[in-house]
Amino acid sequence: MLMQNDMIPLYQQLKTKIKDSIISGKLKQGDKIQTEEELSKEYNVSRITVRSAISELVEEGMLVKKQGKGTFVSRTKIDREIIKFLSFSSACKVEGLTPSSKITKKDIVDPTKDQIDSLKLEKGDKLIWMQRIRYANEDPIMVENNYFSYNNYSFLLNEEHLNSSLYEILSKKYNIVPFKGLNSIEIVKAKEDEPKYLKIHKGSSLLLIKGVVYDEKNIPIHISEEYIDGDKYKLSYTNNI
C-alpha cells in the first residue's frame, strides 16, 4: 500500500512501485499494466494520481500507451555512445541486459576492391565472412556481418565459442585487442535475411553501422556491418561546447 501521510507525494510512490516491478522483471517488456481504474482501486488513490504516475513513466520511456489497447511496458533500448569504442556485449551489460549471439553463416568469400583496401589484404587473400544474430535478453537486436582476412584469421573457422563475445575471444585467447572503429551510420530498408532474423517486416527501416575495427597499432582487424532494429537501439553522443 501507499503511505498517505508520507512526505513523498502519492503519485511518486505509485510511480516507484510500477518502476520497481519493471526493473525486477515482475512486469516484462510488452506486458500490459493494470488500467487506471484498477490501479486506483488497488492503491486507494484517485485516477488523477494514477494518471500522473503513468504519464511520468511514459515520458521516461518505461511505459508506452497504445490507443484503444492500454498501457504497456516498453522495450528497453540499448544505448551506445557513438564517440566511444563500445562493443554490443559491453553496451548490453551497461544496460543490465544479457547479450548472446547465434552464428547463421560462416564462409570463405572473395573480397571486393573496397574490402581489399580497407583491410590492406595481400594479393590472393580471401575473406572469412561470419554472420551472427545478436540478442539482448533473447530479443533479436541486429544482424551482424563480419569480414576477416583469411590469411590472418583462419583460426576463427575452427573456433567453437563464437556465440559469445567475439572481442573477448580475440583479446583473451589470441591477444588481439580491438581498440577503435571508424564507422558510418545510415538508414536502410530491411531485405533478405533481416526480416526473418529480427522478426520485422520487409522494408522496415534499420540502422546500418558499418566500418573497420583496428587494434592499438592501427592495424585493421575486420570489417563490420551491423543491421540494427531501431525500435530496440539508440545512439547517443556527448556534445562538449
> Where does the pLDDT of residue 21 fall: very low under 50, low under 70, confident under 90, or very high at 90 and above?
confident
Nearest to 15 by CA among 46, 61, 49, 42: 49
| Domain ranges, ordered by start, for the chain | 10-73, 78-236
Has residue 214 got a pLDDT over 90? yes
Count the neighbouring beta carbons within 10 Å of the beta carbon of residue 66: 9
CA-CA-CA-CA dihedral for 52, 57, 59, 60, to nearest 10: 150
- % of the chain at pLDDT higher than 70: 91
* Percent above pLDDT 90 for the chain: 53
State the CATH class of domain 10-73.
mainly alpha
- Condensed to tens digits (0 to 9), the pLDDT of residues 164-212 reads 889 999 999 999 999 988 889 999 999 888 999 998 888 989 999 999 9
All cell numbers assigned to 225: 556491418
Burial of 137: CB neighbours in 10 Å, binned 0-12, 13-18, 19+: middle
* Rounded CA separation 142/100 (Å): 11
Per-residue pLDDT tens digits for 54-103: 999 888 778 888 888 899 988 666 666 665 666 788 878 877 788 899 99
Query: Does residue 237 sit in helix, strand or coil?
Result: coil
Q: Which residues of 99-128 are buried (b: 16+ CB within 10 A; e: fewer)?
A: bbbeeeeeeeeebeeebbebbebeeebbbb
Q: Residue 146: in which H helix or E strand, if any? A: strand 139-149
188 and 220 in contact (C-beta within 8 Å)? Answer: no
Q: Which residues contact 185 (CB under 8 A, 6 or more apart)?
A: 82, 207, 208, 209, 235
Position with higher pLDDT, 239 vs 180:
180
Q: How confident is the model at residue 5 (pLDDT cuts 50, 70, 90)?
A: low
pTM surpassing 0.75? Answer: no
CATH architecture of 78-236: 3-Layer(aba) Sandwich (3.40)
